Amino acid sequence: NAGVMQNPRHLVRRRGQEARLRCSPMKGHSHVYWYRQLPEEGLKFMVYLQKENIIDESGMPKERFSAEFPKEGPSILRIQQVVRGDSAAYFCASSPRELATEAFFGQGTRLTVV
């Protein structure tokens, strides 16, 4: 059973471009959480999704950021018109239920905006 797969592992984007981060949850997991780790900081919750539904996006910036988790395929975190301040590590975690006790984290995508 493969773990949570995130790709790409490293992503470099120029200011103004779009970044797409993908997260494939573990088999049988229908709950996905996205977190952002800014340099020198801990992880901050961004969004919680179940298949085809956004449940909680209270941690998402109001503009330029969006997330989806379609019926088929991975969860996508999309950042439009990236700025230098978006440079961070983005982690997703998946769980079979809405319990943090059963969540597993991916290796993360490290986004660098130049």
Binding site for other proteins (CB under 8 A): 31, 33, 35, 41-45, 48, 55-56, 91, 93, 95, 97-101, 103-108, 110
Instruction: Please name which of 93, 104, 114, 91 lies closest in space to residue 38, comparing C-alpha atoms.
Output: 91
Shortest Cβ 25–other proteins spacing (Å): 14
| Complete DSSP assignment for 57-89 | -TTS-SSSEEEE--SSS-EEEEE-S--GGG-EE
C-alpha 25/C-alpha 45 separation (Å) is 17
Q: Measured from the CB atom, is 14 or 101 closer to other proteins?
A: 101
Q: Residue 37's Cα: distance from chain center in Å?
A: 11
Nearer to other proteins, 36 or 81 (CB): 36
Quick one: 16 or 99, whose CB is closer to other proteins?
99
Taking the CA atoms of the chain, what radius of gyration do you get in angstroms? 13
Q: How far is the CB of 36 from other proteins (least distance, A)?
A: 11
- Which residue's CB is nearer to other proteins, number 16 or number 61? 61
Distance in Å, CB of 65 to other proteins, minimum: 16
Q: How far is the CB of 107 from other proteins (least distance, A)?
A: 4
Question: What's the angle, vertex CA 20, arms to CA 5 and CA 14, rounded to 5?
Answer: 125
